[in-house]
Structures are given as structure tokens and as C-alpha cells.
Chains A and B, each alone.
Chain A
Amino acid sequence: MIRRLLPVLFASLFVVSACGSKDFEEHGQAHPIAIADAWVKATDMDMSAAFGVLSNSGDKDVKVTGVTTTITDTAELHETVNGKMNMVKEFTIPAGGSLALEPGGKHLMLLNLTKPIKPGDKIDFKLTFADDSEFEFSATAKDFTGADENYKQGETAGH
């Protein structure tokens, strides 16, 4: 079949960079945390949110206290309660359990986006834990019409 030189594309071939819990120490992680099914809502607006399932195979609760991403300087921990979003100080990933970040619940909020997130983009995130250690992962951008509670302009005050 016909082929063409497109080396740049190889960089985006691999989907998830999250570490499995067994090899977390080799990867310099302080906690046995993994993420599954990480995704972020594609958008051409200035806000979005990221989701996924964080799991903790250790025997101590792990607290997430912050999030950063390469796509914007403003990323926060949020929780939707009764349709209203609130910034929260921390998420707890229970020992031996998991924490679902999902539309209508806890999520990673992205604000002040200056360029679109296109479907299929891979967006890098870094979670900070209470002891200042970090966990990196990549999320796939998905076309999704939900997860826009309170995303509309004028309703963002108070975030």
C-alpha cells in the first residue's frame, strides 16, 4: 500500500501513559495510584473537564490536592452537587479502592482555555498529592455533549 513520511504522528500513537500500581516505585511515584479510562471533553470554548477512575492499591488513603495540565494554567478540583459545581480542596482515593471522576460528580475542571481541545487530542495532566508528590497521566479528548452543567457563560462566577 501507498505510504508517506509522517514521523510526527508516531508521537501520538500511545494512548495512556499512566503507570500500573506494581511498578509505581520504578516510575518514581510515591503512591500506588493508577488511572483508567481517562478522558477530557473536547471543546472550542474556554472551559472543559477531565474524567477517569483513580485507583489506589495501597493500604493508606491518598489525598489529591491539586491538578495541573499543559493545556491551561487554570485547572482545579471540582465537584458537581445537585447540578452546581463547586471547587473543592481535595479528593480522597480510598486505600484499596477507587475514586470515579465522572460527569455530574467529581471532576478535574479546566478554565481559561486559550485554544480548542480537539477530539482525539491527548492532554497531559499532573495530580499533586497531600505530600507534594505527583502522578502524571494522559487523557483522550472525546466529543461529548454532556458534562456542561454550569459551563455556560455567566454562570461561572464563584468558581
Chain B
Amino acid sequence: MKRRELLGRGAAIAGGATIAGGLAVASASSAPAQAVDAPPVGAETIEFHGTHQAGIEGEPQANQTLVSFDLTGNPEPDDIHRLLSLLTDDAQRLTSGRAPLADLEPELASTPARLTVTFGFGPGLVAAVVGEKNVPSWLGPLPAFKQIDRLQENWSDGDLLLQVAGDDPISVAHAVHLLVRDTRAFAKVRWSQVGFRQGLGVHPPGTTMRNLFGQVDGTVNPEPQTPDFAEVVWRPDHSTTMVIRRIAMNLDTWEKADRTGREFAVGRRLRDGSPLTGTAENDVPDLAATDAQGFTVIGPAAHIRRAKTGDPTQRFLRRAYNYDLGPGNADAVGLIFTAFQADIAHQFVPVQQRLAQSDGLNEWTTPIGSAVFWIPAGVRPGEIVGAALFEPLG
């Protein structure tokens, strides 16, 4: 709760900046959020401005939509600047519970419920501003993981990413609608992925999410607001990198595995996520422990054994969401796996390579989408997201 700010204060500050003297203002496009009437969850906001972008460090919200765009029409740097200027303005308004310009449904913006809008740039957008030859080599598709990947173009890649997350699915949908509207002249939607975690208040705060296999998913993540988190996630310029993997989960074949087999595949108990060598979720797994027959308790292909390399710096922040397209759809159920790390090649790729070679879960899971984005530094008031791209050489 400590990072949250009640809307009333934010709205008062915002109102004071533009309208003097407590004037009554009635307008579809400018109605301030009704802080008095909004219930506590709806009124909660997460500050948009800051050193780092919001939507990464902190407890993930219940709902999230990712939208990836392809730029259209060979944009010039000035076009990108106009696009990012519009989207930055929209984002700062929406996340503080204020309607964006030209919003004819301002009521839907009045309950942000911890709404965050996080921007990611793909190689196409960076190239459009600074030129193809200045795009860093890591900003592009991951190396192929031939053993497991069944990637589809319509779930992969993109020039621009919006991560819109919040505890109210309606305000998330509204925010996505208005943000996409402001991209129309510059880009077209390449893919979107709608995801969800446990509903707000369903479990005590801080409870690790369960995925749709029933597994506790996300144990041993870096702790927010710690030096360890900063080391793992942030780059020196306060940016980070984001890997998105859409992983289809086969519930039909999963059903054929009994509970013992399911737990052996991961190395953790389904009941509470505890390692098979421990009793609580956060116990450190004993990868060397053996049973009476001399076999390791946590098997050779157990997910938690394979996901651990010998190098403790090869870790990343996981911020996964479940997806469910509804029965009858292809690859209907799965995980929108999202990882943030300072250095993809050093931190993420070696772990993914180990898991591609061997992971008990691979029998039931299939990566069908993959994308990499640069997440620029946080936005200072008066600036646009990605301002560093437009700065002159020092």
C-alpha cells in the first residue's frame, strides 16, 4: 500500500495546474474523476512519472492487456515524436484518473484502480528515430529455441508495445481503446494479448499467482525496492528490457498426469509451491538431496533444477499473466510469460536455452509467441516517453 496514492490528492494537484480557484467545470473531455464517490479500489493510482516506468516494480494488477504495433508509412523522427507525445499525455491522464483529450466516455477513466501504462520500443521504432545502424544488437527476436518453439507471427515481435495493467478490467479496456485510437495515424495493431491474475482481494496481498495448471507461478522473484531488484532489472540509464513469451498450455494432456507426476515435473508441490525438499514456498530447494534409492528428490528434468544456472546473476523478474480465449479456440489456454532484465543475452537467454534442452514441463507447454522490447527510462513531467532517443549527442 505504501506506493499507492489516493486519487483525491492527485486530482487536486492536476486540477490546480490547469484550472484556477476551484471552478466548477462541466465538460465531456475534461471531467475530473469523482474522487469523493469512487470506492477505494477504483480511486487508487500509481504515479506515472518517475525514474523508472511504472508497471514493472510492485505488485502486478489483476488485469493486463499487451498491444504490439507495426509502424506504418516509413515514419520520420518527427512522426514518432508526435505519436509518443500523444500517448504520453494519454497515459499520464488515464493513470491519474483523468480522461484523455477527446474522450467521450470520461466516466470510464474515473476509476483507474492502479492503472499503469508501460511503453516498449521494438527495433523498428528505434530505427525510425536514430537509424537502423544504431539499433542495439540485442533488440530483436531471441535466438531460436528449436526444441520447443512453435512461434506464430501473429503473436510475435512488433515496433511498439503498450502494457496496460489495472485492477479494473473496464478501465483497462477503456485505456487500451483510447491509446490505440491515438496510434491509428501512425501504426496498426500487430497483436494483442489479454491476461489476468488472481482477482484483487481474493488472496492476501503478496500471494504468488497460480497459473491455469494450478501451479504456484512466480516464486523467488527479486524483491521490489531492493538493491537486488535494481541489479537484476534496471540498466544504468534506468531503462530495462522485456521478453514476452506466449506459452500455450495443454490442459487435456495435463489431465493425464497425476499429482505426483505434475509435482515431479516442476520440483515443487502443487499445494503450496514448496520445493519437494522443503516445507514452505520460499525454502531454498536442495538440488543435491537424494531419496532412499539414491535418486535426487528434485529430478534431473525438474523445471526448478533446469531453470537455475551456475551463475547467480542469470536471473530476471517474472511478471506473468494467464490467458484464456474461451473453450473452442486454438491454443485456448496458457501463460503470457513476461520477463524484465537488464541484459537479455546474459540473464535470460542462457536460462531459456537450458529449459529448451530439458524441462519436465515441455511435455505440456508450447511457446507460440515471442517478442523483445526495450523499455525506456521513466518519464519526467513535461517530457515524453523515450525522450532520450531524441536527445542530441552530448
Give complex CA distance A7, B104 in Å: 35
CB-contacts of B219-243 with A (<8 A): 237, 239
Interface residue? B40 (CB, 8 A): no
Interface residue? B136 (CB, 8 A): yes
Is B134's CB under 8 angstroms from A12's CB?
A: no
Contact of A119 among B27, B82, B104 (CB under 8 A): B82
Is B28's CB under 8 angstroms from A57's CB?
A: no
Residues of B within 8 A of A52 (CB): 29-30
Is B86's CB under 8 angstroms from A142's CB?
A: yes
Is B89's CB under 8 angstroms from A1's CB?
A: no
CB-CB under 8 A for A53 and B27, given A1-B389, A4-B131: yes
Residue-wise, chain B 357-394 has the 8 Å CB interface mask toward A (1 for contact) of: 00000000000000000001000001110001111111
Contact of B30 among A3, A53, A143 (CB under 8 A): A53
Interface residue? B185 (CB, 8 A): yes
Count of A-B contacts judged by CB separation below 8 Å: 144
Interface residue? B129 (CB, 8 A): yes
Shortest A40–chain B CB gap in Å is 9
Give complex CA distance A41, B184 in Å: 14
Give complex CA distance A7, B84 in Å: 17
Is B78's CB under 8 angstroms from A97's CB?
A: no
Interface residue? B85 (CB, 8 A): yes
Is A140's CB under 8 angstroms from B77's CB?
A: no
Is B27's CB under 8 angstroms from A100's CB?
A: yes
Interface residue? B205 (CB, 8 A): no
**B interface residues, tally (CB under 8 Å):** 49
CB-CB under 8 A for A2 and B19, given A12-B85, A51-B29, A102-B27: no
Shortest A103–chain B CB gap in Å is 7
Contact of B86 among A32, A55, A140 (CB under 8 A): A140
Shortest B335–chain A CB gap in Å is 30
Is B185's CB under 8 angstroms from A119's CB?
A: yes
Of all chain A residues, which has the CB nearest B135?
Answer: A2
Interface residue? B292 (CB, 8 A): no
Is A119's CB under 8 angstroms from B186's CB?
A: yes
Residues of B within 8 A of A7 (CB): 392
Give complex CA distance A15, B392 in Å: 21
Instruction: Report the interface size class on chain A.
Output: 35 or more
Contact of A5 among B89, B136, B239, B393 (CB under 8 A): B393
CB-CB under 8 A for A97 and B24, given A2-B389, A36-B18: yes
Is A13's CB under 8 angstroms from B389's CB?
A: no
Contact of B102 among A22, A97, A142 (CB under 8 A): A142
Residues of B within 8 A of A83 (CB): none
Q: Could you list some 24 contacts between A and B, CB below 8 A? A: A1-B237, A1-B239, A1-B376, A1-B388, A1-B389, A2-B134, A2-B135, A3-B130, A3-B391, A4-B129, A4-B130, A4-B392, A5-B393, A6-B77, A6-B129, A9-B78, A21-B21, A37-B29, A39-B101, A53-B29, A97-B23, A119-B186, A140-B101, A146-B104
Chain B: residues with CB nearer than 8 A to chain A? 17-21, 23-30, 77-78, 81-83, 85-86, 89, 101-102, 104, 126, 129-131, 134-136, 181-182, 184-186, 237, 239, 376, 382-384, 388-394
Q: Which 10 A-B pairs have the closest CB atoms?
A: A120-B82, A100-B27, A21-B20, A37-B30, A2-B134, A39-B101, A36-B18, A57-B21, A5-B392, A142-B102
Chain A: residues with CB nearer than 8 A to chain B? 1-10, 12-16, 18, 20-22, 32, 34, 36-37, 39, 41-42, 51-53, 55-57, 96-98, 100, 102-103, 118-121, 140, 142-144, 146
| New A-B contacts (5) at CB < 8 Å, excluding given A8-B78, A53-B25, A144-B181 | A20-B18, A36-B25, A53-B29, A119-B182, A140-B101
